[in-house]
Every structure is written in C-alpha cells, then in structure tokens.
Amino acid sequence: MKAICWHGHGDVRYETAPDPSIEDPRDAIIRVTRTAICGSDLHLLDGYMPTMKSGDVLGHEFMGEVVEIGSGVTKLKKGDRVIVPFAIACGECFFCQKTLFSLCDRSNRNAEIAAKVMGYSPSGLFGYSHMLGGFPGGQAEYVRVPYADVGPLKIPESLTDEQVLFLTDIFPTGYMAAENCEMEKGDTVAVWGCGPVGQFAIQSAWMFGAGRVIAIDHVPERLELARTWGKAEVIDFTKQDVFDTLNEMTKGRGPDRCIDSVGAEAHGTGSFDAVIDKAKAAVKLATDRPHALRQAIHCCRKGGTVSIPGVYIGFLDKIPFGSFVNKGLTMKTGQTHVQRYTRPLLEKIQSGAIDPTRLVTHRAKLSDAPALYKKFRDKEDGCIKVVLTP
C-alpha cells in the first residue's frame, strides 16, 4: 500500500509501506477514505518526539470502510463506514472502565518504554512513535485497528466524511479542553492558539456556557476564523502585550479559564523566554518550548483554571509554579478520551449545532502530503487544516 512515512527531522515521504493484516482476533482492517494532518504531527516532522524510526507510517486522524475483521469482532461488519479514535483502548481495564480511554493499561505494546519516561504508560496511539506502541498510522491506504469493537464508531450515510472526520481527534480534543475548564456560566475564556484544536476549543467554550471567548494568535487567517466562525474577541500577540490586553479586557481580574492549545512548539515571537527556549531546543538542552503555558499561568485570574490540550513531549523549563500555587490555580490536562465523546458530538453535528467542515482550508491527495506538511507547519497559503484522500 501507499502511505506517508517518517524518515527523520523534516523528512516525510509518500512511498510503499507494508500492507496491514489481522494480528489479533479483535482487530479490523480499515480502508482509509479520509485522513488529515494534525498539529501534533508537526512535532514528529520537527523531530521533537523520541523513539521514531525511519519508515514509520504517520497519521492519527482517519476514517474509512471496514474491509476485514478478526474472529473476535462482533460490533462491526465488512462495509461499515467508521471513524477511528486516535487513542487505542481495550475497553476493559481499570482506566477504560472509568472512561479514561487515553490512559488504557493494555493497548501500548511498548508500555515499558513510556513508563521509564512518565512513571506509568498512557494508551497506545496511532502513528505516534514506538514509545506509544509503534502502531502504523492512518495517513495510508489501509490501517490495522486493534480492539475494533471499542474505538470505531459507525457513521450514518446522511453525513459526509468531512463532516465527521474530526471526531477522531480535534473536535473531541477541543471539547475536552473546554470541559476541563470546569467553567461557570458567563466565564471569560482565553484560548492560546487558533489552530484546529484551538478553533474547536473556542466552539466548545460557548457550548459550556462561556460569556466571552478571547483568542490569541498571530496568524491572520486563524485570527479571522476565530473572530468570524468562533465569535471570539482576538489578540494578535505580535501587536499587543497579551497580559496587559487581557488585564484591560477583564477589568484587572484576568480571564477565568485559560486554554493552552499551542503545546510544545510555541513561537512567542520576539519574547525573551521564547528565544531562550528555541536556542535550548536547538542544542538538545530542552525538549519543549512552553511560552504559551507560562503566559496562560501568568494571565489566569486567581482561583482560575488552566486547561492544556496542547501536546507536550518531555521536560519543561522555567514554569512559573510559584505563580500557579500562590494564585490557587487548577490545571487539567491529558490526551483526549475520544471514545467518551464521539457519540454526543456526532449528535451535535447531526443536529446542525456545529459544522466542522468550516475548518478545512486544503483538500488534496495523499501523495500531496509531504508538501502540505511543510505548508501547514510554515502557515503558508492560509493553511489551517488539511484533509487528504488516499
């Protein structure tokens, strides 16, 4: 089959990869009909995620048609059209029973590697390093899906692939970020990063009763989408001081809830800490550039909440923990428990409460992915979200 494969920092290729096969009775094989490039994939492109191997198949946002099932699969049949959550979950362990699916105890077949770094291993993920299972991803013609009775959700024929594709990751991720804010009706929510997850966090904040949403970015197309589709007030951090502007907008109190949708590769253009972060990362003295997280902690009002859907890789430098403790903040984080949200969010799409296709700016063939990875990373041509067809 053809797939998008990783070959090192800045090097992804469209090439032939091994066809998947049934390895366990609970497996299914999916013929991919739509897949996407996620902001998290850029951490792989830029070489931030350890334990990648040359030839690894990328991609964790994908959907398609069931073409083969193992003998233990009872809820799917050949021909079913399904979306597939990016986190792999067994559905039976302690954490799955608590609907903490991205913390599944059984799905990471390389759990000992993750445990050395994190203490305990999270779930396996599609297309996201050998530390998280080494599972081939969905930027491919076909994918093996473990625990196929747990993750995949059958999709009604009345909905297009594009309408539901983002149920695999970024819509539930933005939604869980807003849910983790534990907001009260009328709260002011500040969202750092107006990429795909940030856009869904904005949409979801309104669903949870926000009174105001303020979006922070510097890319004009992203800010405009946040303003028009997201109905958010916007701050361009290259033109306005974020703390001073938020302080003025909230009459000196600060936003009630802050969402860091940026993660490990914050730019923080021109700021002293961002320059130091970039230099340290370049010489391998740091793993992440957490400018947005520092700023969210600094800006959040006393007693507020900082929610982090943005991906962080390893050890973060100079986090203002004194500010965090003395202001009495709450922090909630985590890879998204996608399986918890797919059905209720599918209903929101069916009802017309949200149109996820508004996010799509580029549609292309899978073979075009290497060029679009770079266009997405460099924010060229108004690129906000790429959808690919194998």
- Cβ neighbour number for residue 319 with a 10 Å cutoff: 12
Which residue in this structure is represented by tokens 């918890």?
340
What letter would DSSP give residue 20?
Answer: P
Q: Which residue pairs, CB below 8 angstroms and at least 24 apart, start in 214-221?
A: 214/188, 214/189, 214/190, 214/246, 214/249, 214/255, 215/190, 215/191, 216/190, 216/191, 216/192, 216/242, 217/192, 217/193, 218/267, 218/269, 219/194, 219/379, 221/361, 221/379, 221/382, 221/384
Q: What is the pTM of this model?
A: 0.95
More confident call, 287 vs 389: 389
Structure tokens at 220: 């004009």
Residue 270 scores a pLDDT above 60: no
Percent of the chain past pLDDT 70, that is, above it, reads 95
Q: Are 201 and 214 spatial neighbours (Cβ–Cβ below 8 Å)?
A: no
Residue 242 scores a pLDDT above 60: yes
Residue 285 scores a pLDDT above 90: no
pLDDT in tens, 58-75: 999 999 999 999 999 999
Give the mean model confidence (pLDDT) for residues 241-261.
98
In CATH, the architecture of 2-169+336-388 is: Alpha-Beta Complex (3.90)
Residue 115 scores a pLDDT above 90: yes
- DSSP letter for each residue of 144-162: EESSTTTS-EE--TTS-HH
Residue 12 scores a pLDDT above 60: yes
Residue 265 scores a pLDDT above 90: no
Q: Please enumerate in sequence order all residues whose Cβ is within 8 A of that of 129, keeping only pairs 6 or more positions apart, or say none.
A: 44, 49, 50, 51, 52, 56
At residue 59, the pLDDT reads: 98
At residue 347, the pLDDT reads: 98
CATH numeric code, 171-333: 3.40.50.720
Best CA proximity match to 67, nearest among 140, 159, 5, 145: 145
- In degrees rounded to 5, what are phi and psi of residue 256? -70, -40
- Cβ neighbour number for residue 280 with a 10 Å cutoff: 16
Q: Are 236 and 213 spatial neighbours (Cβ–Cβ below 8 Å)?
A: no
Give the mean model confidence (pLDDT) for residues 182-201.
97
At residue 330, the pLDDT reads: 98
Residue 118 scores a pLDDT above 90: yes
Instruction: Report residue 271's pLDDT band, with 50, 70 and 90 as the boundaries.
Output: low
Same-fold call for 2-169+336-388 versus 171-333:
no
Per-domain residue ranges of the chain: 2-169+336-388, 171-333
Give the mean model confidence (pLDDT) for residues 231-260.
97
Cα–Cα distance measured from residue 102 to residue 122, given in angstroms and rounded to the nearest whole number = 6
Cα–Cα distance measured from residue 70 to residue 79, given in angstroms and rounded to the nearest whole number = 14
Residue 235 scores a pLDDT above 80: yes
At residue 156, the pLDDT reads: 97
Residue 222 scores a pLDDT above 70: yes
At residue 339, the pLDDT reads: 98
HSE-CB of 244 using CA atoms within 13 angstroms: 5
Give the mean model confidence (pLDDT) for residues 306-333.
94
CA 19 to chain centre: 26
